[in-house]
Amino acid sequence: MVDSRCTAERAAALVSNLGDRLLHMQAAADKARRIGELLTQHERDALHTAANLHDIGYAPAVVRIGCHPLDGAWYGRAVGCERLAGPVAHYAVARFEAALRGYRAALVELLRGRSAVTDALAYCDQLTGSTSATISLKERAADIIPAMSLTKLSPMHPVRRCPT
């Protein structure tokens, strides 16, 4: 049984006031459904949950420290979705952002391990634009800059320093 706080509906409620964030999360979840056929049932379920909630750390009600991968992972853990914590904390460049912000110890605390779920989540996120379109990695890097207001951030800001 999936905790109701780990569903797409709960994610939608939490991020509904964050512009295109919900569109991005829903499109990433749609990709997860499509590529999930390559995984075991357990991995498929974990990927789908993680994709639905991978950016939940941006939701004002979830923010603890202002680093969305960790805030989202801690949310997952707090509501009983432990399988969400590792992939959300470590997908794509999220782990680099957290480390650059000084949260390396928190990353270690959250289950990592090289997993098909974490890698598949990175694929789903990185090939999904901020408004839900399927895009290339190069386009995604360009898409993140205006979506995150990166042009306003110092070149030394952790998000600007993350590999893309």
Q: How far is CA 37 from the centre of its chain?
A: 20
Q: How far is 55 from 34, CA to CA, in rounded Å?
A: 19
Which tens digits make up the pLDDT trace of 70-112? 999 999 999 988 888 889 988 877 778 888 888 888 888 886 6
Q: Which of 45-49, 53-57, 97-101, 153-157 has the lowest mean pLDDT?
A: 153-157
Residue 164 in this model has a pLDDT that exceeds 50: no
pTM, two decimals, is 0.83
Q: What is the pLDDT of residues 5-23, one digit of tens each?
A: 788 999 999 999 999 999 9
pLDDT average, residue stretch 40-58: 93
> Whole domain around residue 38: which residue ranges?
4-161
> What is the identity of the amino acid at 122?
A
Q: What are phi and psi of 103, to 5 degrees?
A: -110, 35
Closest CA to 56 of 114, 127, 1, 7: 7
Number of domains the chain contains? 1
Angle between helices 8-15 and 41-53 (to 10 degrees): 10
pLDDT at site 150? 45
Burial of 151 (0-12, 13-18, 19+ CB in 10 A): exposed
